[in-house]
Structure 1
Amino acid sequence: MTAAGVVFTPKSPPERLREVARAAEAAGFAQLWLWEDCFYEGGLTSATAALAWTERIEVGVGLLPVPLRNPALAAMEIATVARMFPGRFRPALGHGNLEWMEQAGARVSSPMTLLREYTTAVRDLLHGRTVDVEGRYVRLSDVTLDWPPASPPPVIVGGRGPKTVRLAGEIGDGVLLDAGFALDKVRDVFATAAEGRTAAGRGDPFDNVVFVELDPTSADLAAQMDESIATLSGIGADTVVFHGAEPSFDPEPLIAAWETRGT
């Protein structure tokens, strides 16, 4: 069954997160997603707060830009959140906007190499493994988490291009595609991720996540949501996440529409 979620974008002030998270849960959404866009709101702090304010809803961060954090620190933070809220945290890793990474003094010359090394290290640490690696960017010496999660959260990889998407299938637990792409592109992304999994000989669970942008002023939001889920699940989506269009990005009309579906 396809899971449905809604996005609280960092265009909204962080003090609104509590009411939105609780409303999304009350409306019956399975997931609430956050963005860590530069230079707005911290994804891990926001996710922890949203999880603490709610009881059931899963919270994802799509995505955490890998150049901004040491992978050992990222694994520590993710593990802590996952242990405090078992089964409810869904972190996604990705390149981040390269211009923003430049602004932050964190841009690297080979984002693909960094993402591969970083995702592998973080996932290994979350699974309780000792990481001893001397890579181009990731250098960890005999690092083991003292408090790995009993049930490691899925490490999802965000991407658009075929190399990143294939990497997601090869080493990640899911792929995240942002909004605005035609169905053929979405289908290609899922197929490319599947190719990566086949090449790596993987048969473990994998989550195809896609964001969908909707106009929050539309009169038929609920119908658009149902149609999007039906269409996207038909081409392989496991999770469909809705967010409001510019300029407001307001999630509240989406939450209200979801709550009144079928009434």
Structure 2
Amino acid sequence: MRFSVRLNNDLPAASYPQLAHAAEQAGFDQFWVSDDLFLRGVWPILTACALATQRIQIGTCIVNPATMHPAEIAMQAAALDELSGGRFNLGIAAGAAEFLGWVGLEQRHPLATVAETIEILHTLFAGHAPSPPWGDQARLRFATRRIPIYLGATSPKMVRLIGALADGGLPLLFPPEHYADVSAQVHAAAIEAGRLPTQIDLAACVWVSVASEQEIARDALREKIAYYAPALSDAILSRLGVERAEVAAIGAALQVSRDMARARALVDDRLMRIGIAGDGTTVAARLDGLVALGARHLSFGPPLGPDPLRAIALLGREVLPRMA
């Protein structure tokens, strides 16, 4: 069994090295940080995390080719992999249409763009120049390994691309029990592509909030859902039985009125199904279901809890030993 931690890039930058070290001490195998627009940039954060740890793998969760050119992604990834001693994993995705819209970008042909980006990155990591329109001088000037590429996905087509092209998958499971469908799609796509499904590190990515008191844990998850609800895909909303207008109201409370209390109040039990909140026993019981569905990599996503540092320690003490 593999365990990982995923955090948004909304915490104080100086806190991440301590969190990465805590995750390493708690027994986690991977430490991922997002790169959502207008929050703290992921590359300096992960650089500090690499220098603060010895064993744990670090990764982007995720970067996208719309706001960062694949050449620059390859440069940053290869440098960070070198700095960390080969502990870097590159998580990429198409980027959320909601966030891209903030800077006037449209999510055009996301599937084809991501597939092309994966191929380009593999070519660059191999020391070669991608095919035209890239020129023959478009290659890294230093050697690197074939850095593992993990694909973030929510839509069925993007999930299948994990099986076809990626080394690993970071599918957001909203709700967590959606793992059964995601796993089946990845396995089928891998077989169609002539690959062994067992070669793909498919993470069961769930949002978790753990604390000794149930309601405190639920409040932390509710706030995280409120921030990201407007960016949820139609497919996710359909699974939850939530209308687009309902999450738009949450977005208006945050982005227009700047009223987090109002936004939290609009996050009902249907949206709370997105994640797992409670004490260690409650969280472990929900995760038992994922393990029964075949999950072999449990990825604990934000907010982790009202206090992420304490949550990491609690997960390592009360949850990971039960899952191992």
> Shorter chain as normaliser: what TM range?
0.7 to 0.9
Pick the structure with greater CA Rg: 2
In 1, Cα distance between the equivalents of 2:97 and 2:57? 28
Answering whether residue 187 of structure 2 is matched by residue 188 of structure 1, we say no
SS in 1 for 2:36: coil
| Conservation of the 8 A alpha-carbon contact between 2:7 and 2:303 | no
Q: 2:281 is matched with which residue? A: 223
- Residues 103, 157 of structure 1: alpha-carbon distance in 2 compared, 3 angstrom cutoff: same
| 1:110-163 deviation per Cα after TM superposition (whole angstroms, max 9, x unaligned) | 1122111112111221233331234xxxxx22222222323x221011111111
Q: 1:137 is matched with which residue? A: none
Answering whether residue 152 of structure 2 is matched by residue 153 of structure 1, we say no
In 2, Cα distance between the equivalents of 1:149 and 1:225? 39
Q: 1:163 is matched with which residue? A: 157
In 1, Cα distance between the equivalents of 2:204 and 2:159? 13
Identity of aligned residues (%): 26
- Residues 103, 59 of structure 1: alpha-carbon distance in 2 compared, 3 angstrom cutoff: same
| 1:226-255 deviation per Cα after TM superposition (whole angstroms, max 9, x unaligned) | 445543233333321213449x66422321
Instruction: Give the counterpart of 2:308 among 248, 251, 255.
Output: 251
| Conservation of the 8 A alpha-carbon contact between 1:22 and 1:53 | yes
Two-structure CA RMSD over aligned residues (Å): 2.4
Q: 2:222 is matched with which residue? A: none
The structure in which a higher percent of residues are helix is 2
Q: 1:62 is matched with which residue? A: 61
Q: Which moved more, 1:236-245 or 1:154-163?
A: 236-245
User: What residue identity is the alignment partner of 1:188?
Assistant: D
In 2, Cα distance between the equivalents of 1:108 and 1:259? 38
SS in 2 for 1:213: strand
| 1:179-209 deviation per Cα after TM superposition (whole angstroms, max 9, x unaligned) | 43241x2111111112221121123721101
Instruction: Give the counterpart of 1:197 among 182, 190, 209.
Output: 190
> Which consecutive residues of structure 2, in runs of 5 or more, have no partner in the other structure?
214-277
SS in 2 for 1:64: coil
In 2, Cα distance between the equivalents of 1:225 and 1:87? 32
* Count of residues in Structure 1 that have an aligned counterpart in Structure 2: 254
In 1, Cα distance between the equivalents of 2:35 and 2:69? 16
- Residues 18, 3 of structure 1: alpha-carbon distance in 2 compared, 3 angstrom cutoff: same
| Conservation of the 8 A alpha-carbon contact between 2:33 and 2:60 | yes
Q: Which moved more, 1:88-97 or 1:232-241?
A: 232-241
SS in 2 for 1:149: coil
> Which consecutive residues of structure 1, in runs of 5 or more, have no partner in the other structure?
135-139
In 2, Cα distance between the equivalents of 1:201 and 1:54? 37
In 1, Cα distance between the equivalents of 2:127 and 2:41? 26
In 2, Cα distance between the equivalents of 1:230 and 1:60? 26
Normalising by structure 1, what TM-score? 0.86
